[in-house]
Amino acid sequence: MTDAASQDGNAAQIAYWNDRAAVTWTAFQTHLDAVFAPLTAIAVKAAAPAPNEHVIDIGCGCGATVLELARRVGPSGDVLGVDVSEPMAARARERIASENLANAHVLVSDAATHDFPPGGADLLFSRFGVMFFTDPTAAFANLRRAMRPGGRLLFACWRPLADNAWFSLPLDAALALLPPQPPFDPHAPGPYAFADAERVRGILTTAGWRDPDAVRHDVPMRLSGPGERDKATEFATRVGPLARLLAEADPDLRAAACQAVATALSPHDGVDGITLQGSIWLVSARA
């Protein structure tokens, strides 16, 4: 695929992450950081960024992972965050500036086709930012060229929807009220495009990466504190697959769907808050 063709194919994703999703993710940045904190910790630990290393963070969003990686590599290392969303990148830059991290930078670009300097990165990292490539094989081949020989890849991606109750429970509750949905394409760009670990290994191998592996991690996802059903419901209906389905719904239908989600979440409200299962792959490889 040519760069122009890939850019055209990613146009819908780029538009989405600069419009509705950007508004939501920047507004929910603090909440998202808290919900994803256990997953971020697992992924960063597995990536093992070290002092002096040069890191590329794909789909860095509002910057939580850029900040953590920059702290790990220290002032003699550097981290380049890449995201297609200008509003989210702007928020990441604000956070970098507030922490006076001179070794962290954010670039607004499509990582699938961006012309990275060749052979300079020690670590390619992503927390849920690589599942949206229209042509993932071409994208990972492009990213591999940015790596030094032996450089490593580590990214977190979602396992199947059925293993992620924090997504599936609200979705199932609302679907009963929504119009019939078209058949789900498991390989289409989106949160669950990399749920099949064998497919991911094949993509990376074809793209020239060595020794691809995927390790399962199950982590509780705390959507809110105890007694905060409304907060958890707002989060569950504004972030993830359900958010797209409700985006164009009329107010009455949306209100009914939100009530159904709230009812479904209520049994999961305990002393630690409203918590549901999350499940990811940690995928690793070497250049």
Block residue for tokens 């409200």: 269
List of E strands, the chain: 54-58, 78-83, 104-108, 121-127, 147-158, 210-224, 269-270, 273-286
Determine which of 18-27, 85-94, 95-104, 242-251 has the lowest per-residue pLDDT on average. 18-27
Domains of the chain from N-terminus onward: 3-286 (3.40.50.150)
Model pLDDT, residue 286: 98
Give the integer Cα–Cα distance in Å for 61 and 95. Answer: 12
Mean pLDDT of the chain: 93
- Residues sharing a CB contact under 8 Å with residue 255, sequence separation 6 or more, in sequence order: none
Average pLDDT, integer, range 135-157: 98
Among residues 4, 19, 7, the alpha carbon closest in space to that of 109 is found at 7
Model pLDDT, residue 177: 95
The answer to whether the beta carbons of residues 148 and 124 sit under 8 Å apart is no
Give the integer Cα–Cα distance in Å for 158 and 120. Answer: 28
- DSSP characters over 205-265: HHTT-EEEEEEEEEEEEEEE-TT-HHHHHHHHHHSSHHHHHHTT--HHHHHHHHHHHHHHH
The answer to whether the beta carbons of residues 278 and 225 sit under 8 Å apart is no
Residue 1 pLDDT greater than 60, yes or no: no
Residue 6 pLDDT greater than 60, yes or no: no
More confident residue, 219 or 9: 219
Model pLDDT, residue 5: 36
Q: What is the pLDDT of residues 22-54, one digit of tens each?
A: 778 888 899 999 999 999 999 999 999 999 999
More confident residue, 96 or 186: 96
The answer to whether the beta carbons of residues 141 and 24 sit under 8 Å apart is no
Band of the pLDDT at 9, cuts 50, 70, 90? low
Average pLDDT, integer, range 254-278: 97
Determine which of 5-9, 48-52, 124-128, 251-255 has the lowest per-residue pLDDT on average. 5-9
Model pLDDT, residue 259: 98
Side chain identity at residue 37, one-letter code: A
User: What is the Cα gyration radius of the chain?
Assistant: 19
Residue 3 pLDDT greater than 70, yes or no: no
